[in-house]
Amino acid sequence: MIKISNPIVFFGSGPVAAKSLEFISSNFNIEAVITKPKKTNSSDPVPVIDLSSSLGLPLYTPANKNELDVLFEKNNFSSELGILIDFGVIVSQKVIDNFKFGILNSHFSLLPLWRGPDPISFSILNGDLTTGVSLMLINNGIDEGELIAQEKLDIGHSNSVELTSSLIDLSNSMLHEYIPKYLLNEIAPYPQPETIPTYSRKLTKGDGEINWNKPADQIEREVRAFISWPKSFTKIYDIPVILTKVSLSNLGGKPGFISYDKRSMNIKCLTGSLDILKLKPSGKNEMEISSFISGYKDQFQD
């Protein structure tokens, strides 16, 4: 691939941003990386900061909207385009106006579906068959800006980690294909489809607690959607576990009722049931259900 010569400013903070920045740094000239600062007294890695430092990229760390405004008041960036992925800081119109071509957000849904902070999890939770990437020019609304391009991706039985990886690959491909065309005025921004928008939200720890009085297919989607956060947790015979892989079964019974043999386990739901394939007991590594039964069956009590 030929490196795109036009300089850009990259806005991004989370792990998705870091993975995208790795590709973008190899294919674009980055004038500056703007990310949230490292948390005080935290020893956790900060992927965007760590990657920027290793690549020698100019790095700025405003903590909020006001600090971002001040950053642009004090720095005369020459870039005509910003790229924003997984940033987590509100961007004012004043900052957007610094860029001739605006700030392009790679949003991981087919807008106007799943506007908001967690489109990947909610596409899985909703049972959507497809999702995709929308290259969108940000404005003051919640993911309401005009589009540069959209491309679809089948969800299949992916969990949120697997789907995120596929969407990052699609996003990188689209950025490389469409940004040069946009900068050369070969494509023009266009409105989002006039369909009813849907909105995601930030997940909470409580979302991960499994309620067996839900249909089996809903809980199965939750396990896939929550695999990274907040995880799908429950108790099996009072043993705290996180379910990491399940499959649908048609066995009926009282919600929460557990049946098992030496190699398999089934838990009944409001409708249908789930075969438990893999789980992670508290403080332990992920294991096959047969290993769990073998190691913990002495603690099983009806």
Angle, vertex CA 88, rays to CA 159 and CA 55, nearest 5: 85
Name the nearest CA neighbour of 272 among 302, 250, 254.
250
CA 19 – CA 6 distance, rounded (Å): 21
| Contact by Cβ (8 Å): 205, 230 | yes
Asked if the bond preceding 62 is cis, omega within 30° of 0, the reply is no
Residue 1 confidence (pLDDT): 46
Q: What is the pLDDT of residue 222?
A: 98
- What one-character-per-residue DSSP string does 5-28 give? EEEEEEE--SHHHHHHHHHHHHHE
Q: What CATH number belongs to 4-183?
A: 3.40.50.170
Within 8 A by CB and 6+ apart from 172, the residues are: 20, 23, 24
Q: Where in the chain is the domain with CATH 3.10.25.10?
A: 205-299
Q: Are 145 and 156 a contacting pair, CB within 8 Å?
A: no
Residue span(s) of the chain under CATH 3.40.50.170 come to: 4-183
Please report the pLDDT score of residue 40 as a whole number.
Answer: 82
Which numeric CATH code is attached to 205-299?
Answer: 3.10.25.10
Residue type, 143: D
Q: What is the pLDDT of residue 302?
A: 64
Query: What's the angle, vertex CA 154, arms to CA 1 and CA 145, rounded to 5?
Result: 70
pLDDT in tens, the chain (302 residues): 456 778 999 999 988 999 999 999 999 999 999 999 988 877 778 899 999 999 999 999 999 999 999 999 999 999 999 999 999 899 999 999 999 999 999 999 999 999 999 999 999 999 999 999 999 999 999 999 999 999 999 999 999 999 999 999 999 999 999 999 999 999 999 999 999 999 999 999 999 999 999 999 999 999 999 999 999 999 999 999 999 999 999 988 999 999 999 999 999 999 999 999 999 999 999 999 999 999 999 989 76
**β-strands 130-137, 81-84 pairing:** unpaired
